[in-house]
Chains A and B, each alone.
Chain A
């Protein structure tokens, strides 16, 4: 055990010796440390720059590029924080601890400002400008959003998405969670398999279901899509599921439900299991049927969780893009949605103003949730 207080043989505790002069605080040393603290980040930046150029080179060896990318990306971050901490260490002692929080929080704030705050403001500005973002055009882009036929279809479709997908996913989630809770064995496996589609990408899911929906008219070959094969097996005609408007929208929504129900189910299952047994037992002893227990105990108790899950799903459904984008020409099939239209107009239609206006409309739809989130957060904080 070390101690900064020396106890003389007599057992008396002396005042500690004055600390030896800090060799690091001489003026020469201070300049060297300052130089080091400044040179290191600059050197890092230069190295990063050089590697950046290397990464951009055409035809460089793939493995090498990937390896360098990984090393730079991962080590770069650690190095950034470490070198910033060194700078703080250089500061005179009384500034050190008040400056340090900004080292911790700084990178996050800078990134958030550059990648979220500034863009939001900028997008709002662009939405009032023309296609090349040169001149102001007032609300022209917004008028387009609310009058163009394709856009109106997109808005209608998106409304359908945000109502149907959460509704179906949460309903199936609750029912499945309740039933799975009653399984004697295999509950974990069952839940895993329902949750599985969450792991795959929207594009992958789109391929999976495109296959399921595969259509060949009678006489042009056997139907290799399961749904149409079943239809033919029942003696009916095969259906071009993805072409028929407006039902093709429902077919696409099925994909999202397929992917997201697992999430709803897992979270709701945890909530259901958290219901105290005593309440349920008491109700059963009083003679309540399973249905009444479900309706009057289960549902109200897990309701807050249901709200949280539904909100999350509504926001996801609002932003749906990949599924619609990958399935082909949305306009031809009438399956447009807001997020997909935004990309179409910005990239393929090359119209900054319209793309931005669509994004702003999406943002406005999300603002109520944002306000609600912040309010809820504030309530929680005041309880803390």
Chain B
């Protein structure tokens, strides 16, 4: 089997595009390691001419960002938001996906069509009411449907919001995967007398790890990088703000302090990049699984 291999034209184009794509990030990385005066007075590429001169490099920017800038705190907050906001939707969606695939109940088809429809709803449609729900509860004709839980600005509020917005896609993807597991396994388990909960917990979950992992990684990155939901539901207070908000604040207040901005940006990018590099395979597999036709 031969695929025609290209020559120098292909190689040069690829290298050019890749260079174009990497240079911006490289510029930020290099600048974050340069002392303030150099960052403000010379382009970052000049440091590449003298890579071994000690005065070119420093870790001071990171130290400042982590302490005064409050980015160490923001990092913790991002973790506190992202991990539950990943685990909760994945778990809830897995249960629902199993039910939609292998259990029989009234309204099953209609409900799933609803889920498919909800996948496209822009979350902007939901922000205002949910925020008012968090701060005031919901009443219908004088009857309190949902009490005032005062969830605005709390972590629980953000987790629930992320869960709500992430569920449709999660249920859809997981249902596709779980539904395609061989029915013989489930049948034989039922014959052996196992109930659905046991089948789900002991059989389906271990078998679904690739799909669960792919979605979990996707959701984790999405939540970690999210600005809007954190802004609306968690707010920008210094104790509670996540990395994205802290960075956005910095752009607004110290927009020209590039030595700080670049190091702060890199701090916020460090975890996703690490996750990306180490778990790329699952991520890519997850993306291509549902989208390729034919």
Q: How far is the CA of A195 from the CA of B244 in the complex (A)?
A: 20
A90: CB under 8 A from chain B? no
For chain A residues 202-248, which have a beta carbon within 8 Å of chain B? 202-204, 206-212, 214, 221-224, 226, 229
A to B contact number (C-beta, < 8 Å): 363
Q: A112-B164, A201-B225 are in contact. Are A377 and B113 (CB under 8 A)?
A: yes
On chain B, the residues within 8 Å of A94 by CB distance are: none
Question: Contact: A119 with B120, CB < 8 Å?
Answer: no
Q: How far is the CA of A321 from the CA of B279 in the complex (A)?
A: 28
B284: CB under 8 A from chain A? yes
For chain B residues 108-153, which have a beta carbon within 8 Å of chain A? 108, 111, 113-130, 132-133, 138, 146, 153
Question: Contact: A176 with B43, CB < 8 Å?
Answer: no
A39: CB under 8 A from chain B? no
On chain B, the residues within 8 Å of A111 by CB distance are: 92, 160, 163-164, 167
Question: Contact: A194 with B76, CB < 8 Å?
Answer: no
Q: How far is the CA of A66 from the CA of B83 in the complex (A)?
A: 11
Q: A200-B269, A374-B117 are in contact. Are A270 and B288 (CB under 8 A)?
A: yes
Stretch at the interface among B5-13, B52-60, B208-216: B5-13
Q: Find the residue from A65, A69, A98, A369 having the highest chain B CB count within 10 A.
A: A69
On chain B, the residues within 8 Å of A222 by CB distance are: 41-43
Partner of B129, one of A119, A201, A214, A270: A119
Question: Contact: B164 with A114, CB < 8 Å?
Answer: yes
**How close is A83's CB to chain B, nearest CB, in angstroms?**
12
Partner of A197, one of B21, B118, B129: B21
Q: How far is the CA of A78 from the CA of B200 in the complex (A)?
A: 13
B186: CB under 8 A from chain A? no
Closest B residue to A205 using CB positions: B24
List residues of chain A with CB under 8 Å of any chain B CB: 52, 55-56, 58, 62-63, 65-66, 69-70, 72-74, 77-78, 81, 85, 96-98, 100-105, 107-109, 111-112, 114-120, 122-123, 126, 172, 176, 179-184, 186, 190, 192-204, 206-212, 214, 221-224, 226, 229, 258, 261, 263, 266-267, 270-271, 274, 277, 281, 284, 290, 301, 304-305, 308-309, 315, 318-319, 321-322, 325-328, 339, 342-343, 346-347, 352, 355-356, 358-360, 362-363, 366, 369-370, 373-374, 377-378
Q: Could you name 11 residue pairs across A and B whose Cβ atoms are closer than 8 Å?
A: A115-B130, A117-B118, A119-B127, A199-B273, A208-B27, A224-B44, A284-B4, A305-B294, A321-B227, A325-B248, A370-B117
In the A-B complex, the 9 residue pairs with the closest CB atoms: A115-B164, A73-B84, A201-B225, A182-B6, A119-B126, A108-B96, A104-B99, A122-B129, A304-B293
List residues of chain B with CB under 8 Å of any chain A CB: 1-6, 10-11, 13-14, 17-18, 21-25, 27-28, 31, 39-45, 73, 76-77, 79-80, 83-84, 87-88, 91-93, 95-96, 98-100, 103-105, 108, 111, 113-130, 132-133, 138, 146, 153-156, 159-161, 163-165, 167-168, 171, 195-197, 200, 221, 224-228, 231-232, 239, 243-244, 247-248, 251-252, 255, 258, 261-262, 264-265, 268-269, 272-273, 275-276, 280, 284, 287-288, 291-294
